[in-house]
Chains A and B, each alone.
Chain A
Amino acid sequence: MIDTLIDITLLAFLTITAIAIIRINNLFVIIMLFGIFSLHSAGLFVVMDAADVAFTEAAVGAGIATVLMLGTLALTREHEEKKVAHRTRLPLLVVLITTIALVYGTYDIPSFGDPAAPAQQHVKPRYIDHSIEETGVANTVTAVLASYRGYDTLGEVTVIFTAGIGVMLLIGGRLLRRNRREDDE
């Protein structure tokens, strides 16, 4: 009961924040609202018992991403450019049809926490029953991420590493240049 109430409140806040992000054209305010949006999502994940995901969302979405976007904002202007007026009828039609299709699709999704859902049937019971005796790690999420799916996690870290390299190659001239000068001396 109280879970449902918190869910409804958080989802209402999410919707309000999203609408505000669309309406406002001051970029600083929008970045702050994005941070609030992430924090609300983190709250929703906690209600859904996904503490690890909530942790990541709060640290990355509300923390790092906000700081990085503020840093980017310092390089650009504070207001969005005025949009050219477009015809709205065709885009509205496309959005409406997509919405109807997506809402229709939700009828086939099993309800939250349904034990008969395909996602709960495949390998999950095995992880829950055997992960402690096989890995000695009490947090099943850690056991799955680091041991059963260790290869995938290696890929994820490589993605982050590649992102860092990409940013440095594209706009990191200062860091690379200063080092080269030090090497010359």
Chain B
Amino acid sequence: MKHNLILRVIAKYLFPVIALFAFYVQFHGDYGPGGGFQAGVILSVAFIFYALVFGLETTEQVLPPYLLRLLASTGILIYAGTGVATMLMGGNFLDYDLLAKNPVAGQHLGIMMIELGVGISVCAVMLLIFFVIAGRGRS
């Protein structure tokens, strides 16, 4: 879609809006609907939209596949790492009460951490699957 000027201009303006909405869903999931999974999917949709308009190569310059693979595993590591951290603090696996002095604050912190992990992992995996399928047949 190299010559679609209107599409390219609109895509440039829509990208930050979609990304911002993803972050809103990520960090507002405690109060409204949504959470890490939905936020990750929406953020990956922003990049997929960008890739559909500007091409796969351009998007892979911004987000190289090795970075996505790193991010996909980082997300899970953050999630499981939170669990291991609570174990090292003397509690059960994923027992967020111990993360802060006050159990409620600990729960809040723990939920933020694991939602962040879910978001990063889901976004990276969705993009990886898209890159693999969209890039097939052009190697």
Main SS class of interface, B: helix
Number of interface residues, chain A, beta carbon within 8 A: 49
Q: Are B96 and A72 in contact (CB under 8 A)?
A: no
* Complex interface: chain B residues within 8 A of A133 (CB): 104
Q: Are A68 and B137 in contact (CB under 8 A)?
A: no
- The smallest C-beta distance from A94 to any residue of chain B, in angstroms, reads 35
Closest partner residue, chain A, to B97 (CB atom) = A134
What's the Cα separation between A134 and B102 when bound, in Å? 11
Selected contact of B132 from candidates A139, A157, A167, CB within 8 Å? A167
* Complex interface: chain B residues within 8 A of A29 (CB): none
- The smallest C-beta distance from B26 to any residue of chain A, in angstroms, reads 11
- The smallest C-beta distance from B117 to any residue of chain A, in angstroms, reads 7
Q: Are B128 and A164 in contact (CB under 8 A)?
A: yes
Selected contact of B34 from candidates A52, A72, A150, CB within 8 Å? A52
Main SS class of interface, A: helix
Q: Are A67 and B136 in contact (CB under 8 A)?
A: no
Residues of A42-100 whose CB lies within 8 A of B: 51-52, 54-56, 59-60, 63-64, 67-68, 71-72, 74-75
Closest partner residue, chain B, to A56 (CB atom) = B38
What's the Cα separation between A160 and B124 when bound, in Å? 10
- The smallest C-beta distance from B89 to any residue of chain A, in angstroms, reads 15
- The smallest C-beta distance from B123 to any residue of chain A, in angstroms, reads 10
- The smallest C-beta distance from A144 to any residue of chain B, in angstroms, reads 11
Beyond A59-B38, A139-B30, A157-B122, whether A147 also contacts B133 by CB under 8 A is no
**Could you give 16 example pairs across A and B, Cβ below 8 Å?**
A54-B33, A56-B41, A67-B52, A75-B133, A135-B104, A139-B29, A139-B33, A150-B94, A150-B114, A157-B75, A160-B125, A164-B124, A164-B125, A168-B69, A171-B132, A174-B138
| Contacts from B to A (Cβ < 8 Å) | 25, 29-35, 37-38, 41-42, 44-45, 48, 52, 65-66, 69, 72-73, 75-76, 79-80, 83, 93-94, 96, 103-105, 107-108, 110-111, 114-115, 117-118, 121-122, 124-126, 128-139
| Contacts from A to B (Cβ < 8 Å) | 51-52, 54-56, 59-60, 63-64, 67-68, 71-72, 74-75, 133-139, 141-143, 145-147, 150-151, 153-154, 156-158, 160-161, 163-164, 167-168, 171-175, 177-179
